Amino acid sequence: MTEADAENWHFAGHADDFDDEDIAQVRVGALAVAVYRAKGNFYATQDLCTHERAYLSDGVLIDCVVECPFHQGRFDVRTGKAVGVPAFVPLKTYPLKIVDGKIYVNVSRAQADADHRLQSQYRTRE
The domain spans of the chain are 3-119
Contact 91, 75 (CB under 8 A): yes
Question: Is CATH 2.102.10.10 correct for 3-119?
Answer: yes
Residue stretches of the chain with pLDDT short of 50: 126
99 sits in the region (left: phi over 0; alpha: psi -120 to 50; else beta) called: beta
Count Cα atoms within 13 angstroms, Cβ side, for 83: 13
Q: What is the DSSP letter of 22?
A: E
Global pTM reads 0.91
Between the CA of residue 78 and those of 75, 90, 93, 124, 125, what are the distances in Å? 9, 11, 8, 26, 26
**Cα 75–chain centre separation:** 11
Q: What is the pLDDT of residue 126?
A: 44
Tell me phi and psi for residue 46, to 5 degrees.
Answer: -60, 150
Nearest to 37 by CA among 88, 84, 110, 96: 96
Q: What is the DSSP letter of 51?
A: S
Q: For residue range 50-79, list pLDDT tens digits in order.
A: 988 899 999 999 999 999 999 999 999 999
